[in-house]
Amino acid sequence: MKFVMTKSTPARIAIADFLSSSAYPVDIGSIIRFLRSKNLKTNKVTVYRTIDFLLQEDLVKRVEFGEGKYRYELQKDHHHHLICTNCKKIEDVEGEYLRDLESKIRNKKGFLVKNHSLEFFGICKQCQQ
Amino acid sequence: MKFVMTKSTPARIAIADFLSSSAYPVDIGSIIRFLRSKNLKTNKVTVYRTIDFLLQEDLVKRVEFGEGKYRYELQKDHHHHLICTNCKKIEDVEGEYLRDLESKIRNKKGFLVKNHSLEFFGICKQCQQ
DNA sequence: GTCACTGCAAAGGCTTTGCATGTAC
DNA sequence: GTACATGCAAAGCCTTTGCAGTGAC
């Protein structure tokens, strides 16, 4: 992944790398742990500010899984998440399932949907066995 | 609304009243403000503990609107929310739109959906004018 | 050399915990 | 009287802010 940042610094490069290599949304803590594992003694404030920058540039998306904190992932094709409440694994579900619904909402309620959050909580295949 | 609580106290009664009279999910702060307006000098910890109790009894549902805090509403017919990003007004959308989708997820991914979060963000009718 | 980024310390908001006191029953 | 609920203080997380110092360009 390449960011169009005004300045390219070790912290930003590492955060970009981590987001690129993460299959699923990560929280600030795991970013910091990654940076430490690379012996980059980055401050958490830098992480927050880098994420803010990426959010504003619309390179990153913020999601919530009911944990009392945010998670972040690179913008990619529209998708949602399957979150196993047992083992905490996260899977993707691709698709634009709500497009028709959003038109209906427009027609019935006059409400213009700009975006939505949709996450599924349940038990993954492995944990059912 | 009537709670099946082991003990009925002024704080619990007032919180139940407030939740019953709230058309949309409320945060802890607004519950406390309501209690103060009724001259009940309830501690916020009591509010949190009452909400915890109601969540465990499945009388209340917890939702997130990307605000960095939780909101709570009485359990009622399955529905989702339209959140105006301009005036912050919240509307309901009734319906079980995702039932088919959840079966598909079951068949395709083997993931058993127990519940989901779905909220729509956009511009309400009034704010479009 | 400049301007943007970083680090540190501190604070702010939401939520939880421990423990002694109070109260519904 | 007893078990449960409350209040207070304190702490735990996550996140944000201010300001001085550093580094990318």
Q: Is the CB of A3 under 7 A from strand C?
A: no
Q: Measure Cα distances from A32 to A56, A74, B15 in Å.
A: 20, 17, 40
Give the CATH number of the domain where residue A38 resides.
Answer: 1.10.10.10
Provide the residue-wise pLDDT of chain A in tens; the chain has 129 residues.
334 467 899 999 999 999 999 999 999 999 999 999 999 989 999 999 999 999 999 999 999 999 999 999 999 999 999 999 999 999 999 988 899 999 999 999 999 999 999 999 999 999 998
Nucleic chain C: which protein residues 24-43 of A have CB below 7 A from it?
41-43
**pTM flag (> 0.85):** yes
Domain closes at, from B33, B52, B74: B74
Rounded Cα distance between B44 and B38, Å, is 15
Task: Tell whether B67 and B14 lie within a shared domain.
Answer: yes
Name the nucleotide nearest B68; use CA and C1': C14
- Residue B1 maps to a domain: no
Rounded Cα distance between B63 and B88, Å, is 15
Find the Å distance, CA of residue A22 to C1' of nucleotide D22: 30
Q: What is the pLDDT of residues B58-91, one digit of tens each?
A: 999 999 999 999 999 999 999 999 999 999 999 9
Q: Residue A99's domain spans which residues?
A: 80-128
List chain B residues with pLDDT less than 70: 1-5
Tally the domains of chain A.
2
Amino acid at A26: V
Residue matched to tokens 């009537």: B2
